[in-house]
Structure 1
């Protein structure tokens, strides 16, 4: 069963939601039959990468908040992250456009490393204070998860996977997704936001139960008549 997750590397709730979903999946009996696919979403496509700007000040300027309020909000989210074992350091976070990071993620997905790429990107952004719009940084992250560093640089120096990112964003718009993280299970059920683990568990069970039913061979009521079989008998 496929679970599609729309997210953005700069979204603090996406990393928290990833952990909570993983906790639910780990407890789920059918986890071996669940395929997770990450999809691209940009919260701020117009953002200009600027390592010199403090993220709290950036949020204050963009959202019209006071700096003190922005810092309080980040402190609150940092505490939420700590509750699921994550360490956020907003003082080190780099203001960076996420389009290139999404292209990197798509390349990693083509090599079967999509989830590893998302994990590396989130950690780089929220914990390590790395510039996720920088080619060398992304190449190093790629090498750490098993990608060829030169291949990563080649991809980033081109426009490869740009259309894939745009397709994900367009699909999100078609589905009416207005915020991330957004989890779609078996193309039928969705969970919006970094919900509590039981919410993911219940939705997984419901979606998986239906998915299993869809995999079952149809039982047909057959009216027998003259036929030819594969052994040549007619």
Structure 2
């Protein structure tokens, strides 16, 4: 079974959704047969690469809210994140173009380190308040998860994974995604948003049952309904 998750590394609900998926998988009896693939999605690809800005006032302007109102809204997200074991401080967040970060995740996938790289980037951005928007910020994080520094710098310089990121985004749009996180199981079942772990578990169980229908042998003697009633 394959679970594809479209998300961005600066999306607070995406980290929450990741934790909830992990909770669902921990309860799923066939966890060892599940492959999780992290797909790219950019919340705002129009931000010029190399530029960053404080997230809070930008969101307030985008949604026509005061900074104080937006801060109150973000505090609610922080509380939800805390329930999943995450330590957010969204008021201090920075925003920028995440294209390089997604390219790095594709490189990590080539080395079997995609999940570790995705986790490291989310943790760096949300819990360590570190930049994930330029090569010099990304390289140390990549090295931490086991990637070679020279290869990382070369890949981010020649942009060899840029097309793969674009393909992920186009696929998400073709599947009907309008936001993230977006979970897709075996390209048959989809769920948008940071769904509760219980719902994600139900999705996994349904997909598994469909892909692995129960096989029965011919019936033998046994009790049926009230035939064994005393």
TM-score surpassing 0.5?
Answer: yes
Match of 2:222 in 1: none
> Structure 1 residue 61: deviation in Å?
2.0
**In structure 1, distance between residues paired with 2:69 and 2:126:** 19
> In the alignment, which residue of structure 1 is the partner of 2:218?
none
Contact 1:186 1:208 survives alignment (8 Å): no
> Within 2, Cα distance between the matches of 1:6 and 1:111?
20
Tell me the secondary structure at the aligned position of residue 36 of structure 1: strand
Query: Which runs of structure 2 are paired with 1:39-118 in the superposition (5 Å)?
Result: 39-48=39-48, 50-51=51-52, 53-118=53-118
- Is the CA contact 2:189–2:207 (under 8 Å) kept in the aligned structure 1? yes
Alignment-derived partner of residue 191 in structure 2: 191
1: CA distance between counterparts of 2:211 and 2:186?
A: 7
1:41 Cα deviation (Å)?
A: 0.8
Offset from partner CA, 1:152-177 (integer Å, 9 cap, x none): 11111111100000000110111111
Counterpart of 1:9 in structure 2 is: 9
Alignment of 1:1-234 (within 5 A): 1-48=1-48, 50-51=51-52, 53-213=53-213
Shift of 1:133: 1.0
- List runs of 5+ in structure 2 lacking aligned partners: 216-230
Q: CA deviation at 1:91?
A: 3.4
Give the whole-Å Cα distance in 1 for the aligned partners of 2:79 and 2:113. 29
Separation in structure 2 between the aligned mates of residue 96 and residue 111 of structure 1, nearest angstrom: 26
1:103 partner SS: helix
- CA distance in 1 between counterparts of 2:177 and 2:31 reads 25
Q: Which runs of 5+ in 1 are unaligned?
A: 217-234
Shift of 1:69: 1.2
- Give TM-score scaled by structure 1 length: 0.87
CA distance in 2: counterparts of 1:98 and 1:65, whole angstroms: 25
DSSP 3-state at the match of 1:177: coil
User: How high is the TM-score relative to the length of structure 2?
Assistant: 0.89
Compute the displacement of 1:92 (Å). Answer: 3.2
Q: Is the 8 A contact 2:74 2:91 kept in 1?
A: no
Counterpart-to-counterpart distance in 2, 1:152 and 1:62: 34
Give the superposition deviation at 1:190: 1.0
Q: Are the aligned partners of 2:56 and 2:93 in contact in 1 as well (CA < 8 Å)?
A: no
Q: Which 10-residue stretch deviates more, 1-10 or 125-134?
A: 125-134
Shift of 1:212: 2.3
Alpha-carbon RMSD across the aligned residues, in angstroms, is 1.5
